[in-house]
Amino acid sequence: MDTGSWFVQLDAWQVMALGLVFFGSLYCLGGWGMTALTRSLARRGIGRVLDARALKPDQLRREWRQSLHSVLIFGIGMVVPWGLLQLGWAQLAPSASAGRIALEIAALLVWNDVHFWLNHRLLHTRRLVRFHGDHHRSVVTTPWSTYSFHPIEAIMLGNIILLPMLVHDFYFWSLASVPVLSLLLNVIGHANYDFFPRVSDTHPLAASRRHHLHHARPAGNYGFALAFMDQLMRTRVESAPGPR
Ligand SMILES: [Zn+2]
Ligand SMILES: [Zn+2]
């Protein structure tokens, strides 16, 4: 498989253009795909909608507008990891076995949850919460809420791969998988849909329920796709008992 040397050889303008197309396509595909999937599951009686209340007037338009800003930040921001490679501060592994790629992706996903919990917890402190209010304006979430942040939040969450790149020479495709998997998990988190109503709140398959609860009651459940950070840091919030 290609080692990613083509990426290093691009110039800064090409990297920014690629970043905009990449993150714009991810957001659109994730939003459309998840909307279609939850509609189809609801029609078949598989799973359940978490919050059936109507969206706020203009909510979708606001989510799209804010997400456009995030796509600009993430897309243009692709020059930062590219810049680390140009400066020689980070390097890519020239080759990797399938096992190594799987390990790298697993480590990056765990780091993703740690990084998200830390930044999200900071965003709920008194000083920074004003930058997080934009995201919480979506009380009933939609797949389009996924990137609807204040620009400061987009910068905080968007730097996920920088620190790992400084400490380890990743294979290019392991790094490239992070925004794709992250978008996928994030779109699940904001789907407003309980895909597996029978599993417990801490189960990996209950991520959408946990993040839905965070939007309904923002004190707690700061984790991303997995529950381990909220369990370790004792910030877990349980869903109200009742029929599932
Ligand atoms: Zn959210
Ligand atoms: Zn929050």
Tell me: the pLDDT tens digits for 189-225? 999 999 999 988 888 888 888 888 888 888 888 988 8
Distance in Å, CA 218 to ligand 2 centroid: 6
Q: Which ligand is nearest to the CA of 138?
A: 1
Q: What is the pLDDT of residues 78-126, one digit of tens each?
A: 999 999 999 999 999 988 899 999 999 999 999 999 999 999 999 999 9
In whole angstroms, what is the distance from residue 163 CA to residue 107 CA? 13
Could you list the residue range(s) of the whole structural domain that residue 81 is in?
A: 5-232
Q: Indicate whether 29 pLDDT > 90.
A: yes
What pLDDT is recorded for position 240? 59
CA of 211 to the centre of ligand 2 (A): 9
User: Do 218 and 237 touch, CB atoms closer than 8 A?
Assistant: no
237, part of any domain: no
Q: How far is the CA of 195 from the centre of ligand 1 (A)?
A: 17
Q: What does the pLDDT read at residue 2?
A: 64
Sequential DSSP letters for 37-86: HHHHHHHHT-SEES--SPPPTTHHHHHHHHHHHHHHHHHHTTHHHHHHHH
Per-residue confidence (pLDDT) for residue 117, from 0 to 100: 95
Distance 142 CA to ligand 2 centre (A): 15
**Gap from CA of 141 to ligand 1 centroid (Å):** 7
- Distance (Å, rounded) from C-alpha 206 to C-alpha 188? 10
Mean pLDDT, the chain, integer: 92
- Please compute the mean of the pLDDT values over residues 56-80 and round it to a whole number: 96
Question: Residue 110: helix, strand or coil by DSSP?
Answer: helix
Q: Kindly give the distance from the C-alpha atom of residue 120 to the centroid of ligand 2, in angstroms, as a whole number.
A: 6
Per-residue pLDDT band at 244 (split at 50, 70, 90):
very low
The per-residue pLDDT for 204 is: 84
User: Pick the residue with more confidence: 5 or 86?
Assistant: 86
The pLDDT value given to residue 210: 86
β-partners of residue 12 are none
Ligand nearest to the CA of 139: 1
Q: How much distance in Å is there from the Cα of 15 to the middle of ligand 2?
A: 31
In a domain, 201, yes or no: yes
115 alpha carbon to ligand 2 midpoint, in Å? 14
pLDDT over 70 (residue 242)? no
- Ligand 1 center–CA 136 separation, angstroms: 7
User: What's the pLDDT score for residue 243?
Assistant: 41
Q: Which residues of 62-97 are buried (b: 16+ CB within 10 A; e: fewer)?
A: bbeebbebbbbbbbbbbbebbebbeeeebebbeebe
Å from CA of 83 to ligand 1 middle: 30
Number of domains in the chain: 1
Kindly report the number of other CB atoms within 10 A of residue 160's CB atom.
20
Residue 34: pLDDT above 50? Answer: yes
Is 243 domain-assigned?
no
> Which of the ligands is closest to the CA of residue 224?
1
